[in-house]
Structure 1
Amino acid sequence: MNNTETKNRNPVKDALEILPENIRDSIARRINDVISYEPVIGIMGKTGAGKSSLCNAIFKGDICAVSNIAACTRETQEMRIQFGKRSVRLIDIPGVGENAERDAEYEQLYRDLLPQLDLVLWVIKGDDRAFSADEHFYKNVLAPAGGEAKTLFVLNQVDKIEPFREWDVVNARPSPSQMQNILDKEAYITQRFGFTDHPVIAVAASEGYNVTHLVEAMVRALPKHAQSGVASQVRDEHKTRTVTEEATEGFGDTVDRVLDDIIDNTLPAPLRVVVKAAKKAVVSGLKKAWNWIFG
């Protein structure tokens, strides 16, 4: 095979060649829907929590405003991060506890938005000590609406946690004393909010501290169909083997479900057995093509 033929090969099409011709097109369309899926992430937190710097530290694409969400407030803004052919949508939602008059509006806004979100990054400023409004909101609005599994708490700006003068500027990491206070703060937040689905992740976005760990936690917390779309948009320094492997497995599982759905609903029983025997090879081939598709 010459270089031109190799360059023009489509691994997705190649992987489907072993399937019956009459279902290839429908499967290809469904897989294309999976590949082109645009994940939606909600970013919530009080003013000054560092939401913008956090997003800039995570993603490599250009961040641009798409529209203001008119449901309640001009402060709630939708943005799109795009690098290459794929994109991620971010919905920047104001934090609770800053405006008592609007908290009731925000509660309804979150209830309306939650079904559309694949993940919520709840950003808390490292030296913030006022949690009562956040705790009430999480326990009485987000958790009952199904937000517990979708919410990842991010303790940002941990370089400001005491004793902040001990922050190791050269190596961009906390001192031993700071680290102990960070761990205590993580435990305190976990205890106050009472969640167990995902651990609190401590970062200093502007310092680049622990952002890779956060990205790995994000990919694990995302639904399988959204993992690859997010992994394709994170900065190269955060696209670790863990991120790639997690996203690849999620992509494979999603494709597996697509194949089962089409096979079970379009093929006669005798043919299903034969095609399902080939399904494993198709999924394996597509997983091997992950870097070609999403890299």
Structure 2
Amino acid sequence: MANSKIPIIALIGQANVGKSSLFNVLLRERRNIVAREAGTTRDSIAAIVDLDGKPAWLVDTAGMKDPEDDFEASIQEQIDLAVESADIICLLVEAAGRLSQTDRSLAKKAMRSKKAVVAIANKVDLNLKATEADFLGLGIKDIFLTSTTTRQGVDALIGHLASSLPNKKLKQDGDVLKIALLGRPNVGKSALFNSLIKKQLAVVAERAGTTRDVNRQLVRFDKQAVELLDTAGIRRSGKIERGVEKFSVLRTLSAIEESDVCLLLLDVNELATAVEQKIAGLVKEAGKGLIIVITKWDTLTDKDGFEAPAISKRLRQEFDFVPWAGLIFTSAVTGRNVAKILELALQIRDRRQQKITTSRLNRCLQDAVRRHPPAGLKNRHPSLNYAVQVSCDPPTFQFFGSLVKYLHWSYKRFLERKLREEFDYQGTALTLIFKEKH
């Protein structure tokens, strides 16, 4: 049912060229902040930025590095994944150094992709004599000299990226619920994917994906067409051994953007890590439905300390920034709760499609304000006058009032809880936007 796609901008390049620094500068300057509470943000690997009024996913391809796990894509894999999933490829090189053969090779492959490609010579503050002509050897037409320290060239880069963003619409598939299976390697995505297809489901058709990054299967459950998107699908014969799978934030983003509800899979033998928390953050940022799925329940021979209530409590603490997410314990081997995943996803879909009348919404707002007047920052006293629902995908509510920029994050969180309690939005992200009434 999701019919829009936010374009993806991938930052690629060798180590120490400033990908993360540029990511942070663009994020700090151009992030579209709506109802973000303190303490919920984690180290970002991808985030939605506002480029001159146009939303885009900005992805730091080096942002997934875990010192104990081999998750950071190699330089070759970065460009492969960018070619697969990104709409704009930004190749960063050092302005203070000479172009290397690797830089030229990356540029050549990026240009062959037929995607929009931008060359960014970063750290120009370390080489004030650098000019665009020094980087023509990359073969890329659009070249920008930038410095994240002095902000030189940043505004020009932002303007170019904004003008290059494609207007993307996903092909509408009628009343089809799209569910993405997400998670780190070896948590059981493919096993659950196959179990969902086989157990109590009638296969309708196999669909070749329009991109190479996601396996798809169209099935029918309880008279509802459901398309399953499995991000574990890429295996290049001869290059990747059986069972070996790299995590890709680009691949994951593509699936999240296309889906209505996301299943975040966690192996019961290895629960929440920073990777899973980051994926949940991406789902929240995208405004999708979310179900945390505990897999491989059958592998626990000694369940002392692993009872479902104890695990639930632990996960609610680990994922306190998405307290609304669903939670279910499964086994692809025994079939435990496999069908219930689809039941829960359908319920979340129905909640997301609610259209709240303006009168009901404002009765809810008036009750909230009466019970708990708005709290402000810097001794300011904001007020909220009225609210409207502006979208169902994701459920988005716009609040109008005075001095709304001073609303405390805790009050925004209070309003979100109030909406969830009043209108039963369990299982899905909500977007709250606050605007000054003129």
Could you state the TM-score of these two structures normalised by the residue count of structure 2?
0.33
Pick 1 or 2: higher relative contact order, CA cutoff 8 A, min separation 6.
Answer: 1
Structure in which a larger fraction of residues adopt helix: 1
Could you state the TM-score of these two structures normalised by the residue count of structure 1?
0.47
Structure in which a larger fraction of residues adopt strand: 2
Structure showing greater radius of gyration is 2
